[in-house]
Amino acid sequence: MAVRVQEADFDPGAELEQLTRGSTTIGGVTSFIGLVRDMAGDQPVSGMTLEHYPGMTEKMLERIESEAHERWPLDASLIIHRVGPLNPGDRIVLVATASAHRQAAFESCHFLIDWLKTKAPFWKAEHAPDGAAQWVEARESDEEASARWNS
């Protein structure tokens, strides 16, 4: 299990290589990479700033990751989430899960993304081309996606 919150970009290929290095029990790896879009609905976005509470954020991500390991037989997992100023096309998040079986890898990765969107203490401000910033509100669709994992 590994959790990192950082300003620096990451190399998905190198991260996945490190996740599986030396393990012959892993039969499948599922990953998700989130990127900054240049639009929010029908409004252009010139950038985004992500904020968090150091220490508290990592603890919550570790709890979410532990929950995935309790629910599925995972050999390894990784959550990298960036903070600070980001531009359209920049990577925001990498979530990866590895298991002997593909179903566990797929389901656990989906779970982690859904719970990161709704339970992780990050705050996002989207910046318009004119420099105006607007905080991103929680989306009902994210809450609905997350709710399916509550049972």
Tokens of 131: 């420099």
pLDDT at position 151, please? 67
Angle at alpha carbon of residue 76, lines to 9 and 7, rounded to 5°: 15
| Distance of alpha carbon 65 from alpha carbon 142, whole angstroms | 18
Q: The tokens 């719970």 sit on which residue?
A: 115
Tell me how far the alpha carbon of residue 43 is from its chain's centroid: 24
pLDDT tens per residue across span 49-101: 999 999 999 999 999 999 999 999 999 999 999 999 999 999 999 999 999 99
- To the nearest whole percent, how much of the chain has pLDDT over 90? 84
Instruction: Enter the pTM of the model.
Output: 0.94
| Distance of alpha carbon 43 from alpha carbon 128, whole angstroms | 8
Q: Which residue has the higher pLDDT, 104 or 150?
A: 104
Mean pLDDT of 123-148: 89
Name the band, by pLDDT with cuts 50, 70 and 90, for residue 1. Answer: confident
Q: Which residue has the higher pLDDT, 150 or 25?
A: 25
Tokens of 54: 């150091």
Can you list the domains of the chain with their CATH numbers?
Answer: 3-147 (3.90.1170.40)
